[in-house]
Amino acid sequence: MTRTSTAPPQDVFQIGTTSFSFSADSKVVFEDGGMRFDFKANPVPARGTLREEALRAWDGTPAPHLWSSGLFHFDDRAGEPHRVFSYPNTDPGSPFHLYVQGVAYGLRFFGQVELAPDRIALRGVLRQEHHDDAEGTPLHLVRHFPRGEVRPRPRDFHSLDAAQAVPAGTVRHLTLRQQWRPETPKTDRFPEEVLAFTAIESLILDYASTDHARFTELPEAIGTLQQLTRLDLSNTSVRHLPDAIGQLSQLRHLAMSPGMLTSVSEQIAQLPHLERLDLAYNQLTSLPEAIGHMPSLKALNLSGNAFTSLPASIDRIENLQVDVRYLPLFRDMRYRPEIEVTTSAEPFLARSSPAHAALLHDGLARHGLLDHEPLLLRHARQALRWRTTDPDAPPVLGGTRFGGAPDLPPGLPYPTTDGKPWHFYAQLDLDAIAGLQSWLPRTGRLYFFAESQDPSDGVRVLHDTSPRASLAPHTWGPEVDSVDDIDVSRAYKGYRAVVDATVSLPILYNGHDRYTGEDAGLMEIYGDDALSDTYAELADELAFSPDNQHGVHLQNAFVFTQHESPEEQSVALQRGSPGEWVVLLRLGSDQHPGFEFWDAGTLTFTIHRKDLALGDFSRVLGFIES
């Protein structure tokens, strides 16, 4: 007679020939209808007989650790939630990333993943990404656990063939993404097969490039997909967003970015529920007036287009992204128009000072860049370069200081939020630098503060002309934390600094939209590798420390950023034009006082020329770039 086994299912945790047991803190977590896992092995002494290279550990006791990030959700393709897929070669249609620690450095898992609400199994190899499976170490893991609660979601199809293999009315989500490879196919037609999925709610077509999606029109039948809430078409050659778009009455998210759109139908305004519209990086020159009056539209991205006109109505949209140079097309960009103050850019430019112009000329001559002198004279700035030197001990009352504590007069409060002090960064003695520039106040001191290193928080600059004898070093008291919970008394050490007048050259990185027309010749420097390297050497020579031992902080200088400059960011927040904003101080990371802005970044304070002329430092802005 045959007996049915009642033995409990066995767990397995094996790498090569070495078996492990699961540690007590291994777990499977069920949240929001999905699942994730975190499996840890109990350490196994390596001894001298452990031969798998994959198990080499610094302490000689390997303890492998495998875990997933992101909640994996099953789909409704079958009655029982169960998925088997190849990792990392197959997109399982739900967030799933597998991480490995406690083994030799650089190893990843390659193989089969099986997921169920009561069982997880991995079978494959651990290997370096550039190796093949034959060079890897076998891994077999099986873990059983009490069945958890999962809620299958409508299936997200990731291939047209898979979607066509089920009844068309059951397809809710379709995502087709191309990876750019030499063999990636190119097409001249929109995949009209998707029009059969009449119940589809989300359609994402992401092509490798516009050359891989050469079709220039969307079919009018796109308007028959009445259940669509999200339509995302990336890297297509479509020129016009058709009238049929206005028939997608349930649409909440529409993205055509990047692409080659040149126009948008007025019918887009017929979408009552559209919340997000992304038209960035196309070839648009204008938009329908009605876009700004769409009742639900909260976010509109227009970056990377070349507009000649824009409707004033878009200014009401809560989250609007548009390149700074196009803001005047729909917004009054005058800065504080109620105040009449005449200002000029000339005092800030190197060409206005014979000494600065000579410094620039000599540098260009040394580096063989004199052919570009006329263009550079249009932009190069008079700048002040501060270099920290020695600890400010004993402190020089009222003198220039980076870090440490400010010397404040009676009645000038130290900035705080809810009683917690802000970070103090610098105190500049204006009397000492009056002969080096003409645009700062002639006397007194400037104090620079920031609430924290979060760019959304505030900055503050104070100007004071009290007699030096009335000043007193600020003290915080013991164990006082700043707004972001840093002990302010230990945050930054006070350092003295030396200053000289120099020239700051334009930042050409990402400057194709910034330097156009008669200034376009500057980008010829950036486009030539040899010239670009020479230009960078000169810029560093003028604006940084020649011995690389001093932290360098600049005033009225160009500041490197990945995207918008601090002046352009200031325009977006407070209006004006980029040329009207002045870099009051750019702080760099500096080991002397201990400045470190995120990843060796910068903290920049900007002020409008009108406020600077008025001596009004209450509207200074701050930006962190990392």
pTM summary value: 0.72
Res 414: pLDDT: 95
> What is the predicted pLDDT for the residue at 549?
60
Q: How do residues 58-108 score in pLDDT, each as one tens digit?
A: 556 788 999 998 899 887 766 689 989 999 887 776 778 899 988 888 899
The pLDDT confidence band at residue 552, using thresholds 50, 70 and 90, is very high
Q: Are strands 97-101 and 65-69 parallel, antiparallel or unpaired?
A: antiparallel
CA–CA separation, 324 vs 465, rounded Å? 36
Among 543, 551, 553, smallest CA distance to 591 is for: 551
pLDDT reported for residue 311:
96
The per-residue pLDDT for range 328-384, each reduced to its tens digit, is 999 999 999 999 999 999 999 999 999 999 999 999 999 999 999 999 999 999 999
Is pLDDT larger for residue 543 or for residue 469? 469
Structure token digits, residue 289: 């007036």
The predicted structure's pLDDT at residue 2: 47
The percentage of the chain sitting over the pLDDT mark of 70, rounded to a whole number, equals 95
Residues 282, 299: Cα–Cα separation, whole Å: 17
Least confident of 407-416, 421-430, 599-608: 599-608
Once rounded to an integer, what is the mean pLDDT over residues 180-193? 92
Q: Which residue has the higher pLDDT, 489 or 107?
A: 107
Whole-number Å distance between alpha carbons of 274 and 297:
6
Question: Is the pLDDT confidence value at 3 over 80?
Answer: no
Domain ranges, ordered by start, for the chain: 12-45+60-144, 156-332, 350-625
Q: What is the mean pLDDT of the chain?
A: 92
Cα separation, 550 vs 238, in Å, equals: 53
Residue 121 pLDDT more than 90?
A: yes
Q: Which residue has the tokens 């610094």?
A: 58
DSSP line for 157-208: E-SHHHHHTS-GGG--EEEEEPPP-TT---BSS--GGGGG-TT--EEEEE-S
The whole-number pLDDT of residue 61 equals: 75
Tokens describing residue 502: 């120099």
- pLDDT, one tens digit per residue, over 509-523 is 999 889 989 999 999
**3-state class of 132 per DSSP?**
coil
Fold of 350-625: Hypothetical protein YwqG fold (2.30.320)
Q: What is the structure's pLDDT at 455?
A: 62
431 vs 89 pLDDT, higher one: 431
pLDDT for 50 equals: 47
Please tell me the predicted confidence (pLDDT) of residue 7. 66
Q: Where are the beta strands (DSSP E) in 418-518?
A: 420-421, 423-429, 445-450, 459-464, 472-473, 495-504
pLDDT category at 146 given cuts 50, 70, 90 is: very high
**Worst-scoring range by mean pLDDT, 16-20, 180-184, 548-552, 566-570?**
548-552
**What element of type H or E holds 572?**
helix 566-574
Options 3.90.1640.30, 3.60.15.10, 3.80.10.10, 3.40.50.300; CATH for 156-332 is 3.80.10.10
**Would the pLDDT of 47 be above 70?**
no
| Residues 165, 150: Cα–Cα separation, whole Å | 25
